[in-house]
Copies of this chain bind each other. A is one copy, B any other.
Amino acid sequence: MPVTIKDIAKAAGVSHTTVSRALNSNPAISPETTERVQQLARQMGYVPSAVAQSLLSRRTQTIGMVVTTIADPFIVKVVEGAEQIALAAGYSIFLTTSHNKPEHEMAVVETFQRRRVDAIIVTSSRVGSLYSSQLDQIRVPIVLINNQEEGEFLHSVTVDDLQGAQLAVAHLLALGHRRIGYIGAADRPKSNGRRLAGYLAALKQAGVTPDPILMISPAATGDLERGRAGLEVLWAAGATAAFCYNDLIAIGLLLACRQRDISVPAMMSVVGFDDIEPALYTNPPLTTVHQPRLELGQLAMTMTLDLLNGQEAQDRILSCELVVRESTSQQISESANGEYSITSR
């Protein structure tokens, strides 16, 4: 069993109260006893019990964090950002994955309540619908990152999907593309809707009429598969460029292009979303929309700690940046006279 202040008290010949005060450098204690007690504590390898302290202070200095999966490089960065801030403030994180399973999420929340976490951070979940019944029970602050549902009662940090999508599609338009496809993900309704809106906004700004056949959302088991399926439709529809809901879909599309000998970017320009690490290793390296993932996590945690300190916290929306790599190029075609010219096909 670990050493307690009582053990130290016995060894030092003082009361446990004095030990407690000495260890906390309480000025009421004489410098000599303070020094003596502290040295003794060190010798005996004393480490205060956060459990006992929590019981008394009613604060566990603990944050519960729910993510769908840490296999997603996007989420990893968010967690890293959150951890940095938490650690610096003396908080520890209970990290749990939900794999998007409602029953899992319920259980996680229950666990967090039992553990008396001071606050909860949830990423990319449909909190609104699922938790609503449990939510009023929870007294601790809840901060949502990129959540898929609207809800006024919670605090949130979100990435500006619309602006990011607009950036991506504007880039393709500037390169001369007019038949630009969008491959969406219907299972993330909110963000998918916003990215689609950005796509449409960019087209509108360029005076291009959207073609319904180019806006698809293939049902598939995984994002990679979705990209593969997307290519078939878009290629048949005469698209010269594709904007994908995320990088994994884009990578799936890239793989399918290679199999069908569709050269990227010469025959098909591809843009992703997220800027995950693998996007650097693809062939060609993927042009994509970079989300400030680290910052997302940092901000969410900062916000959480602010709330715990009784401060107000404003919801935040972070903007994205376009990272141009090699999967996009001018939409060119050889014209009759042998010269290259931009075409709108």
Chain A positions within 8 Å of B, measured between CB atoms, are: 1-2, 45, 47-52, 54-55, 58, 60, 69-71, 73, 76-77, 79-80, 83, 87, 92-97, 110-111, 113-116, 137, 139, 251, 254-255, 258, 277-278, 281-283
A79 and B70 in contact, given A48-B114, A55-B52, A278-B278 (Cβ under 8 angstroms): yes
CB-CB under 8 A from A2, the residues of chain B are 113, 116, 139
Contact with A258, one of B58, B87, B92, B283 (Cβ below 8 angstroms): B283
A288 CB to closest chain B CB (Å) equals 13
Query: Counting chain B CB atoms within 10 Å of each CB, which of A45, A80, A92, A258 scores highest?
Result: A92
CB-CB under 8 A from A113, the residues of chain B are 2, 47
The answer to whether B45 and A137 have CB atoms under 8 Å apart is: yes
The answer to whether A114 and B1 have CB atoms under 8 Å apart is: no
Contact with A87, one of B1, B45, B96 (Cβ below 8 angstroms): B96
The answer to whether A80 and B70 have CB atoms under 8 Å apart is: yes
Contact with A51, one of B55, B76, B111 (Cβ below 8 angstroms): B55
The answer to whether B70 and A60 have CB atoms under 8 Å apart is: no
**Cα separation A282 to B254 with both chains bound (whole Å):** 11
**Cα separation A196 to B7 with both chains bound (whole Å):** 51
A-B contact pairs, 27 of them (CB 8 A): A1-B58, A2-B113, A45-B137, A47-B110, A48-B114, A49-B55, A49-B114, A50-B114, A50-B115, A50-B116, A51-B51, A51-B116, A55-B55, A69-B80, A70-B80, A71-B73, A71-B77, A71-B277, A83-B96, A92-B94, A92-B115, A93-B95, A94-B94, A255-B281, A258-B283, A277-B278, A282-B282
Q: Which chain B residue lies CB-closest to A71?
A: B76
CB-CB under 8 A from A281, the residues of chain B are 251, 254-255, 278, 281-282
CB-CB under 8 A from A251, the residues of chain B are 281
Contact with A283, one of B97, B116, B282 (Cβ below 8 angstroms): B282
A111 and B92 in contact, given A278-B278, A278-B281, A281-B278 (Cβ under 8 angstroms): yes
Q: Which chain B residue lies CB-closest to A64?
A: B92
CB-CB under 8 A from A45, the residues of chain B are 137
The answer to whether B51 and A115 have CB atoms under 8 Å apart is: yes
A258 CB to closest chain B CB (Å) equals 7
The answer to whether A71 and B60 have CB atoms under 8 Å apart is: no
CB-CB under 8 A from A71, the residues of chain B are 73, 76-77, 80, 277
**Cα separation A113 to B55 with both chains bound (whole Å):** 17
Nearest first, the 6 closest Cβ-Cβ pairs linking A and B are: A283-B283, A278-B278, A47-B113, A95-B95, A50-B114, A45-B137
A48 CB to closest chain B CB (Å) equals 6
Contact with A97, one of B73, B77, B80 (Cβ below 8 angstroms): B80
**Cα separation A114 to B46 with both chains bound (whole Å):** 10
